[in-house]
Amino acid sequence: MSKTAAHNVRTVCPYCGVGCGMILQVANGRVQKVIGDKDHPANFGRLCTKGVSCAEPLALPGRLAFAFTRERRNEEPLPLPIQDALAQTAARLKKIIAEHGPDAVAFYVSGQLSMESQYLAGKLAKGFLRTNNIDSNSRLCMASAASGYKLSLGADGPPGSYQDIDKLNCALVIGSNMQGLYLFKKQQLTTVGKNALNADAFYAIAPYGGAGRKIAFSVLVENGVYGGATAAPAAAEIVNAALKLGLIQP
């Protein structure tokens, strides 16, 4: 097979919710290299190890490379051309809609789809099939986080912007596994100013149970540090209150 020159495809990382921009260098139908998009406002060209290696699974054996069909559920699936599979799917969806209406069809899409795939799924559901029944795991899995944002910060989204990290003087990270879930943000945080290795003060939160957290919360409320659903806690006062309670050690 003759080699073709690589061309660049701009896209978004398929992993965590930071949404880092990346450029895929594609040649001969394969992603040859992944680099960060320097013009993207979420990461400005920086990528963590997950983003850099995101194309590796695309060429691994065991991935579904063909369409399959079966006449009955208890039969073994048989391969068929992708165009035939698409035609069968379209015919069955058309029949369901003709008999029961468009709301008889529902979509539950994966949070691991790319931005482009998410867009196409929404267009297919609402624009072509005319059903409003589409939901995504990427929304449902964040329901508890969005509720926490609303209760503590007054808005159902993270405050500030990623660029603020480059200008901060103090960072307070509580209950966040940045190393495993948001590795790029962890890298950005530890490259700005001081970090846990050379900070003026580093507080390791003691693993106390629910009772300790309730006591800490009550102290914060009594001292006016946390005043309700729309008040944002002050980081320094939280640390001082936790120090007084013995929940953390300097």
Per residue in 190-219, pLDDT (tens digit) is 655 445 555 555 555 554 445 445 555 555
The span from the CA of 240 to the CA of 247, in Å, is: 10
H/E stretch holding 248 = strand 248-249
User: What are 45-99's pLDDT values in tens digits?
Assistant: 988 888 899 999 888 888 887 899 988 889 999 999 989 999 999 999 999 999 9
The answer to whether 115 and 12 are in contact (CB under 8 A) is: yes
The span from the CA of 243 to the CA of 20, in Å, is: 36
pLDDT of residue 15: 81
Tokens of 215: 């006591």
pLDDT of residue 189: 67
pLDDT of residue 39: 94
The span from the CA of 124 to the CA of 111, in Å, is: 17
User: What are 148-178's pLDDT values in tens digits?
Assistant: 878 877 877 666 777 777 777 766 666 666 6
The span from the CA of 123 to the CA of 202, in Å, is: 49
The answer to whether 237 and 223 are in contact (CB under 8 A) is: yes
- Largest Cα separation within the chain, whole Å, is 73
Tokens of 49: 């190890």
Quick one: 7-59 is in which CATH superfamily?
Answer: ADC-like domains (2.20.25.90)
pLDDT of residue 167: 75
Domain ranges of the chain: 7-59, 67-138, 154-249
The answer to whether 97 and 106 are in contact (CB under 8 A) is: no
Tokens of 69: 């069909």
More confident residue, 250 or 124: 124
Among 161, 156, 207, 215, which Cα is nearest to 44's?
Answer: 161
pLDDT of residue 118: 84
pLDDT of residue 25: 95
Among 92, 17, 15, which Cα is nearest to 54's?
Answer: 15
The span from the CA of 244 to the CA of 169, in Å, is: 23
Among 62, 48, 49, 56, which Cα is nearest to 24's?
Answer: 56
pLDDT of residue 234: 45
pLDDT of residue 183: 61
pLDDT of residue 40: 92
pLDDT of residue 174: 64
pLDDT of residue 60: 86
User: What are 102-131's pLDDT values in tens digits?
Assistant: 999 999 988 777 778 888 999 999 999 999
pLDDT of residue 229: 40
Q: Residue 186's pLDDT band (boundaries 50, 70, 90)?
A: low
| 62 SS3 class | coil
